[in-house]
Structures are given as C-alpha cells and as structure tokens.
Structure 1
Amino acid sequence: MTTSVTRADHRVSARVRILLWLLLVMAAALAAVAVATRSILLRDVDHRINQLLTQETGEFANFVAQGVDPATGGPFTDPDALLRVFLQRQYSDPDEELLGLVGPPGQGLRVIRQSRELPASVALHRDRPSLDAIAASGASSGRLDRARGEVRWAKVPIRSDAARGAAFVVAFHADRERAVADEAFRALLAISGLALLMTTGIGWAVAGRILAPVRVVRATAAELTERDLTQRIPVQGRDDIASLAETFNAMLDRLEQAFAGQRQFVDDAGHELRTPITIVRGHLELMGEDPAEQRETVRLVTDELDRMSRIVEDLLLLAKAERPDFVRTEPVQLAELTADVFVKARALGERDWVLDGVADRAAVLDPQRITQAMVQLAQNAVQHTVAGQRIAIGSRAVEDRIELYVADAGPGVQEQDADIIFERFRRGTARRGARTGGAGLGLSIVRAIAEGHRGGRVELRPTEGGGATFVLVLQESP
C-alpha cells in the first residue's frame, strides 16, 4: 500500500507533461528560427561585402584602363598619382578602407590612403603586419582574423614597368555588420523567451480546459463502488474527449449490468436454495432410528439436493447468457433441426405429439441452444397437460423471420401472467396447480437463448381450441 502511494506522489500529471512537451517543441522551433535568421543575416552580410569588394575592385580596374592623369592629360604612368587621384574621387562606406600599397612588403612598403580617419582600434593602415601579409599574398581576396576584428579584403595589382609592387586594396571591417546580425539574434532570443512565458500561461490554461473532462472521468471513477455504479460523465461537444466520455459511460453501463446480473444471481441463488437447505436440515435433524423412516428421509433429502443442483445449473446458464460466446451460430437446415427436436420431445411424456409443420430452408442459428430452448418448451407443455393431450412442434418462415413453436392444449396462460412467466422464479397463476418440480427458471432460459440471437425474442400466443403456444422468433441474417 505504501508503495502505491509513493508512486502516485511522484507521478507527473498529464497537464504538466502536455505543457512540458509544448514548451520543448516551441523552444526547439523558436531556437531553430533564431539560428536560421542569424544564418540568413550573416549570409546577407557576406553577400553584401562580396558585392562591395567586387564593385570597388571593378571600378578601380576600369579607372586604370580609362583614367587620365590630370597633370599630363594622358594615361597614368606613376602608380602614386594613379592611386591618389582614384582615392580622392571615391566615397567609401563607414566600415570600408580604400588603400594604395606601393613598394615591396616590409620596411619599404608605402601606404596611400584617403584623408578620413578610422578608429585606431580597427584601422588597417596602422596594422603593418596585416598590410605586409596582404601585399605579399598572391590571392586577389582574402580574410584576416585579427585581434582587432575580422577584415575582408580584395586587391588589384597595378602592373606596369613603372609600378612594380603597387596594388589597390579594398578592406572591409565586418565586425559591425556581423554585430547587427548578432543583435537581431539576441533580440529574437529575447522575444522567444517572452513567447515561451506567454505560452506557459496560455498552455497551462488550455491544457486544463482540454483535460477538464478527463479529470471528471478520474473523479467519477474514484467515486464508483460495487454498490453505486450510477455515476455518468456529461458529454459535451463532438471531439475526442467527448468520445472518451461516451466510451467511459458505455463501459459503466456494461459494468452496472454485469454487477446487477451478479447481484441478481447471488440473490436468486440465496433465495431459492434457502428453502431446500432448510428442508434437508429439518429432515436430517428429525430423522429417527427407524430404517423405513431413514429411507424416506434419504429419499426426500436426495430429491431436494437434485432440485438444488438443477437450480444452480439453471442459474449458471442464465449467468452465461451475458457472455458474447453464449450463442455460436452456424448454417442449419430447419427441417432437420425441427425433426430432431420432435424426436427428442416425444420421450418427455405420453402425449399426442404432432409434427405440425417444417420450414424447408437453411438458417443461421445456434442449433444446440435452439434445441435446448425447444425441449424446455416441450417439457413445459408436458408439465401442464395430461396424457393424451395434443402437443404440436413445428417451424415456419414468415417474411424476414423464422419461427419455431411448441403449442399445447393445456389450461393456457392468463392475460395478466403473459409478461411475468418469462421472469426468473415466476409462474403463471393458471399453471400453479401442476406439479412441475422446477424453480421457475425454464422460460427465463428460453428467453435468454432467443435474445442471444440477433433480433431474437420469445412470444406467447393463444392456441386455437385452448392452450398456449410459445414461439421462438429469429431474424433472418442479412
């Protein structure tokens, strides 16, 4: 008991699990969106830098090919003049440096630049090692990862006899552009955090609303006891929760029916067995020493014990009628089944037995159960008739149904008893004079067998000339 309580205390509720999964999925989705957005922004930064470097180097190449030296009116022959004139005419972006490099890398490298100043922490023209590396590089573009920040560069060599070792360099400081992407990424993360907080509140409320019927199911199940199965869950809407409630209510209906059948079985057994037990006990307590009296007592006790055995068997049969496998149908020839029932019934007593009619066709039914019901009806007819009276057995097909019947010429059944004779331990008043020796379960068994077939029932009809006709009505299978 302690173990079950401990497990219950550590159990995570469905509401919490739903919320945790929702938050996990949303967090993963928002993180993916933020990372994807940052990647897109950084890709755009790289694309913009590449375009700018391509544009600047293309403009310089065109200027080299088409530019005119203001001092001579002809093409540029001096790389210093070429670079100075070009740089004077260019307007660079805030993060862009346009430089001219003349001479060999190292101590002899001269730098020609625009007049505007960049912060000393990022200015490339103050970083001699980096300039030497660019001048010495055989590539037309590259990337410098410096402690001061990343630099993307491109260069155009100036090839002429008078301009050995000269080059035009475009340098772009990408840190600020990348910082914009990182700032957007952080903003997205902050917005995602707020969204998760809002989702937590909304998800908690929505999950509670969705799971409210489930809590009702749980509360209802907790209130159920063997003696009180009347609780039902209100069904609202047409969603899965409503279907769950309907299924739960249907289960409760079946449980209530099963418990009711169980209680009825116990009550009926206790009620009917009490009398023979009392009789047996009384005779045994009063039994004397006389052998003849002892033999009579044993006979009476044995008869009561046999009656108790029949009652128990009948009650068990009625209890089985609630099971789905109580009836096992198969194709049967009605003519053969009716003839077999007639042959078996003739051994029940000396009566004027008549095979009244036979339906010459096939039907889907349980031949053993139907035979059991028909023989029970024949036994009932024997008990309420005298030797020589007529009892007819037959079968017929009527429209979409099949009828098997037993008709007797006995006293019949009074109108007020027509309904109660099919109940357990009930007999009709017109037939109480007969010495049946039964417990009033025979017709209950017949009704259970009939209703065990799809759409089946048992009917009581008057017999022409007096008597009673009991009819098993079975629906044709589609």
Structure 2
Amino acid sequence: MTTVPSSPPPLAADPVSGPSVPARLRIVAWMLFVVALGLTSMIVSVRSTLMADISRSANADVAHEVKELQNFASTGVDPRTSQPFTSTTRLMEVYRDGQQLTDREAVIIYNHSTGQATQASGASAPTLDLTSTDPLFVKMLQSPSGATSYGSGEVRWAWVEIEPDKPSQHLSVITMSFTASRVDQLNATIWLMVGISAAVLVLTGVVGLLVARQILRPLHDLRAAAASVSTQDLNRRLPVKGRDDIAGLTEEFNGMLDRLQEAFDGQTQFVLRAHQEISGPLAVMDARLASQPATRTVLQQRSQIAELQRVLDDLQSLTQAERRDFAHLTPDVEVSELARTLCDDVESMAPGRWSFDLRARGTATLDVERLRQATAHLARNGLQHGDGPLTLTIAPSTDGYGRSGLEISVTDEGPGLADDDVDWLFERFTHGEADGRPRGSGLGLAIVRAIADAHDGTVFAVSASGQGATVGLRIPADSSWRLSSDHDPAVVVSPATAPSSRTSAATAPRVSDGEPAAAHNDGARDDRPRDDRAHGDSGEEAGS
C-alpha cells in the first residue's frame, strides 16, 4: 500500500527542460572554468616561450663556439714559439686547454685519418660513446649542423673541418650544446606554476561560493517564501533591498502574492455570499413543501432541495478548508466515545446495512465534528456505490510513512475501483460512472482529503475490481495520544446485515493510498426519506 500526503503533490520540474544543478554551483563552475582556462593558457604560453628561448640560446652557444674556433685557427699563435701553428694537433691542444666550457657545452675533436675522437665537456654535459655504435655521434659526423632530442631536452651541434697539408692532421671539431638541464629547471618552474594555479582555483572556488551565496541569498529567501505560501497564509511578503534585478524580482513576487490574496479572498467571499443568498430561498421552498401532503412529487422536490443545500454546504466546507482554523483539534478525545458517535451517525443514514469493526481504545487529539463530517462523506460514498452491507472500521493502523495512528474507513461491496479511476478519486468535481447510479457533486471525498490534511494525515483506497472497495483516512498519532488496540476486536454487526464477502484491506490486490483514485466521491447531508436512502441514492459520485 502506498501512502501520500492528503494534499496534492506539487508539480515536479521536468528534468529535461532545465538544469538540475543549483545556480550557485553553476556560477562557480563557469567561473572556475574561465579561470582554469586562463591559467592553463598562461602556463602553456610561458612554457612555449621559454622553450623557444632555450633553443635560441643553445644555437647561439654553438655559433659562438664555431666562430671562436675559426678566429683562433686563423689568428692564433703557438705560445711556445710565438709563431702561427704548424700542426693542427698542436692547434687543438692549445684551443682545448684555453676553452672555458659552460656546464651544458661539449667539444669533440675527431681525427679523420685515425678515426679517433676525444671530448671535452662542461660539468653537466653528458659524455658520448664516440664510436660507430653511438647513433648520435654517427649522426653528427654525417651532418655539419643539426638538433635532435636527447634526454629530457635536446642537443644542438655544428662542426668545423680543418684540412692541413698532411692528411694525418685532418681534423673536425664538433661543438655541442645540451639543453636538458635548462629544460629540467623550466619544468620544475612550470610544475610550481601548476601548483600555484591549483591553489588559486581552490581559493577562487571557495570565494566564489561565498560570493554567489551572498548574491543569491534573496533568491533562496524568495524560494522559501514561495514554498511557505499556501491558501491558509498569503500574508507573507519579502523585504525589498536595493535596486538591482533581484530587488525587482522580489517586488514582482510580492505583487503576485497581492494578486493571489485578492483573488482568493474574492473567491472565498463569493462562495460564502452565494451560500447565504441561496440557502435562504431553499429553506423557504423546503418549508412550503413540508406543509403540503407527502406525495411522491413533493418528496422528490424536497430531496432535490436537500441535494442543492448539500452542495452549498460542501462548497462552504472546501472554502473553509483553505483556512488555518478549519479544524479545531481537541486533546484527550475518548476514541471509544467517538467510535460510538460515528456508528450512530452512519446507522441513521442506512439502518440495518452496517457492521462495525471497532478496535481503537484510548485518547487522541482530534476534531470530532470534522471527523463526523468525513465519516458521513465516506458512508455516503459507500452507499452510493454498493447495494450490499457496509463496514465501518475504526482501528489503530500504520500509514505508508510508518506512522502509527487512527484509521477510519468504510468498506462496500460495489463494483470496485478501476485502474484508471485511481488518479482522481480524491480530487474535486470528479465523477465516476457507477452503473447508471446518480452522481454526486464530486466534493465529498475532496472534503475527506481536506479533513485528513487538517490532521496531518493521509487518505487511501484499497480495491479489487468487482470486489468492492475500502476508502478512508489515517491520522498519525502525536506524543499526546494514548491509543491502544483490542487484541480481541469487537465486530458489531447490525441485525439486518448479511455476512460480508468484501475483499479485506490486507489482501486486496488494487491499492491506492493517498493518491487521487477511483470513482468514489461525494458529500454531505441527506434529507431524503429513508426508503430512498436505503437504495444507496445518496448523491455520491464515484464508482467503488
């Protein structure tokens, strides 16, 4: 069995038509996206620029070494003889000894005649294999200049060939610049920037959440006000602060509440005025008919007048249901006394057709008169849609939310509730086709729902098609209740009541608890002669 609040549920938002993420989070998410995009672009741009600088610096180092070697070869003198060099071997010895290589530079001297090579390197420059198995060394011998990846960076080189008269002194000098150390330093700097950017993003997110919360606070107040607005209280207004867009929205919201309150007050006054204006003439007409002989025509006319009066009373009750003072809850109501009163009420409506399942004992906080009104509507609904015996149940129960409390329900042996009827059973002005039976005003079970709502309770319907229906309300207990159940329940059967073949609430396959359901629905007093009432012509409008 499914239990829902007796008031209709609010319309759910369409998850497809709009976002489900709160506006504050969406604002912060977009802000973080823009900041992250900016920081990422900055980091990528900085790294690209610095990598280009490293490459240009490496090229400049190589070009400088080549130019320096060329100048030394053309103008240098042997420090031993103070004469120009006569041997390339001596030239390279003096050149190598006088070089101040940086930590990323290296020089290779290769003798073409012997195939031997020697390397002079800076502190962090790697030492090459200098054999034919070293692909980098072979590549440098094949190309006078170039660049290739090496380690975490790259190596750039250029070589100068020195060809003296003697073939044994044919040398090539390869100058190299390695960028790995500078690339490692750059990467460390970039990772530091990434860490700082992450901290900036976190700080931006926290500050953004706080700022967005502050900016959107009026919208949250607006939402809370809209959620708290009901027909019982349309007096709440939001303070207007500032002259921004949110202040304008707040003004419009307050104006909407003003219009709603005006419309609701006008509707309420109209119903109350209509009740006053129409009840008087109806009472006069009924009094005149009462003074005439009780012919069939007179009885039918009086029955129609009673039906009109009942509709007016129902409309007035529904209008009052929108007010906070609709129900006057009285503490320490004796449930057993209430049960006897309700039994007397329904028995007077159709003598001999009722059995009673009375299992509740103790005290509760209830509005006795409203519960009598609700029980009368439930009884009329059952009489309208069932010719057989009926059962009034007053017993402790548990609703679909797990709340224990008091159940008041009526079970009939009518045609039951169709699946399609479940959606509108407790709605206003709804009718079911009950095998040609007269239909009521469509207000009775709506009033039952309003009374259940005033007690913070639920309404429910249990039925199997063709096997009758059980319709009732459940009122949850609070801390002031002292409710108990008889383990040996007293089922009081009216003398003229046949044994019931109804489907019980525990085994009925078709259940609707608190949802708008089937064709049972109507409402109030029935002043027709007993013969008409005994045939179930009570003006209810659904199909049980």
Q: TM-score, normalised by structure 2?
A: 0.45
1:258 is aligned, of 257, 263, 269, to 263
Residues 141, 155 of structure 1: 8 Å contact kept: no
The gaps in structure 1 that reach 5 residues or longer are 302-478
Write the distance in 1 (CA, Å) between the matches of 2:242 and 2:22. 24
Distance 1:289 1:126, change over 3 A: closer
2:44 corresponds to which of 28, 35, 43: 35
Give SS of 2:236's match.
Answer: coil
The whole-number CA distance in structure 1 between the counterparts of 2:36 and 2:82 is 67
8 Å contact kept, 2:148–2:154 = yes
Note the C-alpha offset of 1:255: 1.9
When residues 6 and 68 of structure 1 are mapped into structure 2, their CA distance, relative to the original with a 3 A threshold, is farther
- Give the structure 2 partner of residue 110 of structure 1: 116
Equivalent AA in structure 2 for residue 197 of structure 1: V
TM-superposition CA deviations, 1:423-456 (whole Å, max 9, x none):
xxxxxxxxxxxxxxxxxxxxxxxxxxxxxxxxxx
For residues 284 and 131 of structure 2, what CA distance do their matches in structure 1 show? 122
| Aligned twin of 1:175 | 180
Asked whether the 8 Å contact 1:151–1:171 carries over to 2, the reply is yes
Find out whether 1:202 has 2:211 as its counterpart: no
SS at match of 2:159: strand
Deviation of residue 224 (structure 1)? 0.5
Name the CA distance, whole Å, in 2 between partners of 1:241 and 1:286.
67
Q: Does 1:151 align with 2:163?
A: no
User: Take 1:22 and 1:5, find their aligned partners in 2: how far apart are those partners?
Assistant: 32
Candidates 21, 35, 54, aligned match of 1:26:
35
Tell me: CA distance 1:73–1:282, structure 2 relative to 1, closer, same or farther (3 Å).
Answer: same
Question: How big is each residue's C-alpha offset from its partner over 1:167-214, in whole Å with a ceiling of 9 and x where there is no partner?
Answer: 222212211100111001110111122222322322222222122111
Q: Which amino acid aligns with 2:67?
A: G
1:218-297 superposed matches below 5 A: 218-287=223-292
Structure 2, unaligned runs of 5 or more: 306-544
| Cα pair distance change 1:234/1:6, threshold 3 Å | closer
- CA displacement at 1:97 relative to structure 2: 1.2
- Does structure 2 retain, via aligned residues, the 8 Å contact 1:224–1:231? yes
Query: TM-score with structure 1 length normalisation?
Result: 0.51
Larger radius of gyration: 1
Change (3 A) 1:168 1:67: same
* 8 Å Cα contact 1:99-1:170 kept in structure 2: yes
Distance change (3 Å), C-alpha of 1:212 and 1:131: closer
CA separation of 1:150/1:270 partners in 2, compared to 1, >3 Å: closer, same or farther?
same
Alignment of 1:45-444 (within 5 A): 45-70=54-79, 76=85, 78-103=87-112, 108-114=114-120, 118=123, 122-124=126-128, 129=134, 132-145=137-150, 150-162=154-166, 166-287=171-292
C-alpha displacement of 1:131? 6.4
**Residue 70 of structure 2 aligns to which amino acid in structure 1?**
A
Aligned to 2:385: none
User: Could you tell me whether the CA contact under 8 Å between 1:143 and 1:153 is conserved in 2?
Assistant: no
Q: Distance in 2 between matches of 1:69 and 1:130?
A: 36
Deviations 1:387-412 (A, max 9, x none): xxxxxxxxxxxxxxxxxxxxxxxxxx
- Greater share of helix: 1
Distance 2:210 2:142 in 1: 64
- Structure 1 pair 244/126, CA: closer, same or farther in 2 (3 Å)? farther
